[in-house]
Amino acid sequence: MRRVVCKCLGTLLCVKTPTVTDSNDTSQTNVESRDAIAPNDTKQLDQQMTAAEPSGSSLERLLASINSLMETKLRRDAQLRHQTEKHQELANEWMIAAAVIDRFCFIVFSISLVVGSVMFYLLYSTSS
């Protein structure tokens, strides 16, 4: 139903659709670059710390927990970004639907106003 209102009636009634930026590509590359950078940094840090202290079992656990926290944060950021994009897309679709309904009501009102005025004029002019 939403597609019919937004796309078919929208094009029929000449409603401009909002331009959608291609933010999926940029956000996906940002997530990929973060995923690529974060594990490498932790590996380098892990190597540096183990070279400095050979008996670092607690240090290894600490680095593993930091790594897992970073991965969790990246997953949450990606989920939040996905939800935000989804909500923005839904809001754009509702704006299109509202514009279509508004245009349709304007056309119906205009036609009924013109037809009513013509009928009133014809009835008034024939009765006089």
- Average pLDDT along the chain, 128 residues, taken 10 residues at a time: 69 68 50 50 58 68 93 96 96 94 96 96 84
Write down the pLDDT at residue 13. Answer: 74
Per-residue confidence (pLDDT) for residue 33, from 0 to 100: 47
Number of domains in the chain: 1
Provide the token pair at 58: 């607690």
Quote the pLDDT of residue 44. 60
- Domain coverage including residue 48: 2-127
Euclidean distance between CA atoms 60 and 79, whole angstroms: 28
Cβ atoms within 10 Å, residue 28: 12
pLDDT value of position 128:
62
Structure tokens at 76: 């949450």
